[in-house]
Structure 1
Amino acid sequence: MKETNYHHGDLRNTLIENGIELINAEGIGGFSLRKVAARCGVSHAAPYSHFKDVQELLAAMADHVTSRFTESLQRSIDGDYVPQKAMNRLGTAYIAFFQQHPAYFPFLFFHSGIRIQVDGEVEGEPPYPPFAVFRETGMRLFRSQGLPEQMDDKMLLAFWSLVHGVASLLSSSGIRYSGDWQEVWQTILQSGGNVHENDRT
């Protein structure tokens, strides 16, 4: 049994973090409250003081990562930044978040069940909060540059592909790189990865 130290009263977050690691390692078919409890070094009954069933734990895991991701992105653009600089800072924060929490990337994009509608919104379904921050920042940049609205989705996807690609690489367990991933991102920006060719920082 894996021994996990946690502060009294923090079992809920410990279950969430270990749940993320477990589902990444074994997939949904190998996921259960009993296995998560074993990873935490607590009794099989302990998780039920926080979650009524495995679905509630899964939902809490998704909410946990989503709220932290949204907060990180929003914090990166808080302040009086010109649109291009805000977009670049958002990309830096996106990568930094998954550098700090590499297990979150495979969980979020392969196991959490999130849906992101790039071109518009799904009726009756609120936009995914981190992407809403990303999209709003992109729209502000595109309008400041006078780009036609019909280009919005393609431009947003182009920028997202760059930053998400770096995050995907650094989060992949089979990929080793001894350099600084943020320097990779800065190289992309310097070589034309800005949404507009003119650097308005």
Structure 2
Amino acid sequence: MKDDTRSRLVDSGLRLLREGGLDAVTLRAVGTLTGVSRTAPYRHFADKAELLATMSARVLDDLTRHVRASYSDQDSPEERLRTFYESYIRYALAHPQEYRLLFSSALKSAGKYPELAAATDRAIQELVADWPGAEPHADAGASRARLLALVSTAHGLAEYTLSGHYRHKGIDPQDVIDALLDVMRPVPAAR
């Protein structure tokens, strides 16, 4: 029988995160919630940062599935982009603690965690490859730049929505998405 302790520890970490935020996630608390000894989490994670990176990998996979499922049936590039942004914001609103974990300063050295690096590579492959104009064998740097362009704007939209900045200014996030898409439309050539 396969030992699923590591997976259960991650489940517990995510539960603690949802219920109490990042400060509630400690290896000791995760072990207690999982029902294992105090030292068991240390056999699976070197430290809290590794646990958070593993949790982030799972969240990133979940976010990627959510976003990809939302736009995959859209035919026009503009509707795909609109749906990408809308679903990204919906995910952030539905899972605020998990979403914030992805961008947490606790993950400054995210590149040193193989599970998170693999989740990032999967997100790039799954999200960017579907976009019109994407080259099937594009250079990894170009794919990363494309994903970062999409995620940077989506992250700004989500953060402003989560923080209440749009609401405070009386702005609907949908209006911001519409304005963003207007700015991104090609300008017709002058005659």
Which category describes the TM-score, using the shorter chain as reference length?
Answer: 0.5 to 0.7
Q: Which residue number in structure 1 is paired with residue 37 of structure 2?
A: 45
User: Which residue number corresponds to residue 136 of structure 1?
Assistant: 129
More relative contact order in 1 or in 2 (CA 8 Å, sep 6+)?
1
Partner Cα separation in structure 1 for residue 94 and residue 39 of structure 2: 26
Bigger share in helix? 2
For residues 133-182 of structure 1, the C-alpha deviation after alignment (integer angstroms, 9 at most, x for no partner) is 443344x1589xxxxxxx9988765554332102123444xx56658x99
Query: Among residues 72, 76, 82, which one is paired with 1:78 in the alignment?
Result: 72
Kindly provide the CA deviation profile for residues 31-90 of structure 1, in whole angstroms up to 9, marking residues without a partner as x.
63213345x4x6561783x88333464454123212211111110122252222112111
User: Cα–Cα, structure 1 residues 18 and 193, in superposed 2: closer, same or farther, change >3 Å?
Assistant: same
Query: Residue 187 of structure 1 corresponds to which residue in structure 2?
Result: 175
C-alpha displacement of 1:102:
0.5
Partner amino acid, structure 1, of 2:29: K
Residue 81 of structure 2 is aligned with which of 87, 90, 93?
Answer: 87
Match of 2:62 among 65, 68, 74: 68
Q: Which amino acid aligns with 1:88?
A: R
Measured in 1, the distance between the counterparts of 2:55 and 2:127 equals 21
Q: State the 1:98 CA deviation.
A: 0.7
SS of the equivalent of 2:185 reads: coil
Instruction: Read off the aligned partner of 2:97 and give its amino acid letter.
Output: A
CA contact (8 A) 2:63 2:91 kept: yes
For 2:92, the equivalent position in structure 1 comes to: 98
- Of all paired residues, the percent bearing the same amino acid is 17
Residue ranges of structure 1 left out of the alignment (5+ in a row):
1-9, 116-124, 144-150
**Matched AA of 1:61:** M
Equivalent residue letter for 1:193: L
Q: Map residues 163-178 of structure 1 onto 2, 5 A cutoff.
A: 163-172=154-163, 175=164, 178=167
2:71–2:83: 8 Å Cα contact kept in structure 1?
yes
TM-score (norm 1): 0.57
State the Cα RMSD in Å. 4.2
Counterpart secondary structure, 1:81: coil
Does structure 1 retain, via aligned residues, the 8 Å contact 2:10–2:54? no
CA gap of 1:156–1:15, structure 2 versus 1, over 3 A, is closer
Equivalenced residue count is: 162
Q: Is the 8 A contact 2:128 2:147 kept in 1?
A: yes
